Each structure stands twice: as structure tokens, then as C-alpha cells.
Amino acid sequence: MVIVRAVIALAAMHQRPLFQMDVYNAFFQGDLEEEVFMQFPPGFGSQGGDHDHSLFVLKRNSRQVIILVYVDDLLISGDDKDLIQEAKGMLHATFKIKDLGPLKYFLGIEICRSKKGILLCQRMYILELIAVLGLGGCKLTLTPLEQNQKLTSLEYDQQCGVEDDPPLPNVRGYQKLIGKLLYLALTKFDIAYSVQTLSQFMQAPKKSHLEAAHRVVRYLKNEPGLGVLMHAEAKGILTTFCDADWESCPNSRRSVTGYTVKLG
């Protein structure tokens, strides 16, 4: 998803179009019982390194088209409309592909474009999560976690004699909820710290952990439509921030380090 956001950010900065294509029945086009070795079509080059062949670039002189592949979904951008159409034709000639037009919805993320840039949000995903958890009538919260709240592990409670915070009988339910919150953190950076804290207790969650996770969802109810704006006037400069909280983990007394990398 980092590559997806980077491609969209570059498209916003350079005023490039974004298109989406979908491969028909990608999982039903044939059963493979033997090893298959593939080569890239002429003109295409993988930009994902030795272990990630998800990003391809078609180059013609100074023009280029970027094709990002995620399972059976394709995101296409470039600086030349004719070359984009040529790339689409090459794909159509090889696979049965549906052209979905300008990019509006990709992997559960809503994409809205204006003169200011490209907005990424997950409003429908958040509303669906609220409905599934039955939290539609719950009160809102102003922060993802309570201030100065120290969430402890089950082992820590056993050593300290804490008995009023029982373990959850449904561990899988908690794990699925944290997985959904992790995906929401792709566009909701304000919950990133809270979700990484809660994800430390995936193996043995307790009642307090589930209550804290529900608080994050109640916090998201405030503004489910807020997201990340890839600004059209941004400069293509990488900026990095980092910080550390000395020995802040109550369970291991280890330091917690955080960082963020911003493009534009």
C-alpha cells in the first residue's frame, strides 16, 4: 500500500491521470499443476525489486506509463494519454480485462480528485465496521485512547496479581478487529499509534484491550470521511520525522520508537 500511495501522490503532483482495470475471473482462468516461469512483455520493466513484481513501467523515449498490479486490480498512470491507451491495448490483447475508467475506488479506499489534489479516505469501510460491531448508537470519543492509559499483558497481570481484567473467550474476534483497524490506519494516521499498541496483544487479548479497540472505532465515528490529501501543489521531496519514548512499555520496559516518511 505504500507503493499505491506513492503512485497516487506522484499523479497528484504532476497532474497525471489515474485509471483502474480489473482482470475477469483472475482465479478461474486455469488450474496450474506444474511450475511456470514468466518473462516480462517487451517494453515493460519491473520496478519492485527482486521480490516484488507489482510495479511495471512502459517507457517510450521520455514518456512513461506506470502499471501497478494488486492481485487482479490494476492501477495505471502516466504522462502521455496515447501511451496509456497503447498500454491498455497490450493488456487487453493478453488478458480478459475490464476497463473501469478513472480511478474512484481502489482496494476499499475511496479516491476523490479536485483542483487541490487527490483525497484518499475509507468512509464506507468505517461505516460498515461501525454497523458490524453494533456501535452505531454509542457515544463519540475525542481521542483514540484514554490519556496515559497503560495496557498490560496477561502475563504481566498474573505476576502482579491483577484479577479484574479477564482474558477474552473469542480471541479471533479481537484479531479480526485489529486487522481491520490496521487497514484503516493507511488513511487514518491519527489512529496509527493506538492500533500498533493494541496489536501487541493479539495472542492473548483481555477485556480492557477489546474496550480500547472499541474506543478507537467510536473515535472514528467523529469524522469518517476524513482522509489523506495528496496535494497538487506539493513538491516531490521526502521528509522524515522520528521520535522515541524512553522505556515507556509497561510490560517489557523497552522504548517505543515512531517514525513517518512523507512524500510531498
Domain boundaries, the chain: 2-107, 123-225
The model carries a pTM of 0.79
207 with 189: CB under 8 angstroms? no
**Residue 244 CB partners (closer than 8 Å, separation 6+):** 255, 256, 257, 258
Average pLDDT over the chain, rounded to whole? Answer: 86
The pLDDT value given to residue 93: 85
pLDDT tier at 45, thresholds 50, 70, 90: low
For the ranges 40-54, 84-98, 218-232, the lowest mean pLDDT is seen at 40-54
The pLDDT value given to residue 26: 57
Question: Residue 208 pLDDT > 90, yes or no?
Answer: yes
Tens of pLDDT along 56-87?
888 888 899 999 988 888 999 999 899 999 99
pLDDT tier at 152, thresholds 50, 70, 90: confident
Average pLDDT over every residue of 226-247: 89
| CATH code, residues 2-107 | 3.30.160
The pLDDT value given to residue 49: 45
Burial 86-121, CB ≥16 within 10 A → b, else e: bbbebbeeeeebeeeeebeebeebbbebeeebbbbb
Question: Residue 104 pLDDT > 90, yes or no?
Answer: yes
Average pLDDT over every residue of 182-196: 92
Q: Which residue has the higher pLDDT, 259 or 122?
A: 122
The pLDDT value given to residue 48: 47
| Alpha carbons 210 and 85: distance in angstroms, whole number | 49
pLDDT tier at 55, thresholds 50, 70, 90: confident
The pLDDT value given to residue 50: 43
Q: Which of 70, 82, 72, 75 lies closest to 103, judged by CA?
A: 75
